[in-house]
């Protein structure tokens, strides 16, 4: 059988392209967005220190009345029990005085604000003794070697406002927050 030239040959036309992204492009784009998001979270840089602040009204006078000298230090713990590492976050904090500080008794609860930065800083502005009335104070959380704040370990990887710290430290009476 011989082939004749009567058969029409159609020119090859490319398959029409779809508008928009195909599945591979969508997956790749999603991966780029996800990686960028996580990298931005980890790349946050925390300020090294805090701006200065005044003590609460009447705090210095209340501490003087209790025989607490400026610069006086006293051990304190974040939680009672065996010392260990705990996770802390920016925000309100309570610590417990260990031993008497002037006439402020052992186990007085000191409350204030915690700031997670390159170190963990604490500004304590209120004292509540086990018995008696509460009063304003002006105390900073310090490390055992009297450095401002406490050394930190990396905390929750997804948050720049949390850190791991040891449960024990010191508080120091100050006339204002540096």
Q: Is 76 exposed, middle or buried (0-12, 13-18, 19+ CB in 10 A)?
A: buried
Provide the number of structural domains found in the chain: 1
Helix, strand, or coil (residue 150)? strand
For the chain, what is the radius of gyration of the CA atoms? Answer: 31
Is 97 a member of any domain?
yes
Q: Quick one: tokens of 10? A: 């159609």
Residue 68 lies in a domain: yes
* Residue 164 in domain: yes
Q: Domain span at residue 113?
A: 59-173
Residue 49, domain member (yes or no): no
**What is the chain's pLDDT, residue by residue, as a tens digit (178 residues)?**
444 444 444 444 455 454 555 544 444 444 444 443 444 444 445 566 789 999 999 999 999 999 999 999 999 999 988 999 999 999 999 999 999 999 999 999 999 999 998 899 999 999 999 988 999 999 999 988 888 999 988 555 556 778 899 999 999 999 999 8
Provide the CATH number for the domain around residue 77.
Answer: 2.40.128.260
């Amino acid at each position: 059988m011989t082939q004749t030239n009567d058969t029409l040959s159609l020119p090859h036309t490319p398959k029409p392209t779809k508008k928009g992204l195909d599945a591979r492009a969508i997956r790749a784009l999603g991966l780029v967005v996800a990686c960028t998001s996580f990298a931005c979270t980890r790349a946050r840089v925390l300020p090294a220190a805090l701006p200065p602040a005044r003590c609460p009204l009447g705090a210095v006078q209340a501490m003087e009345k209790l025989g607490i000298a400026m610069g006086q230090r006293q051990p304190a713990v974040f939680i009672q029990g065996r010392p260990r590492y705990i996770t802390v976050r920016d925000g309100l904090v309570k610590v417990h005085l260990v031993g008497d500080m002037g006439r402020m008794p052992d186990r007085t609860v000191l409350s204030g604000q915690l700031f997670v930065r390159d170190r963990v800083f604490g500004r304590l502005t209120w004292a509540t003794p086990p018995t008696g009335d509460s009063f304003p104070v002006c105390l900073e959380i310090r490390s055992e070697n009297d450095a401002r704040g406490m050394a930190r370990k990396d905390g929750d990887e997804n948050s720049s406002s949390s850190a791991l710290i040891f449960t024990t430290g010191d508080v120091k009476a100050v006339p204002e927050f540096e």
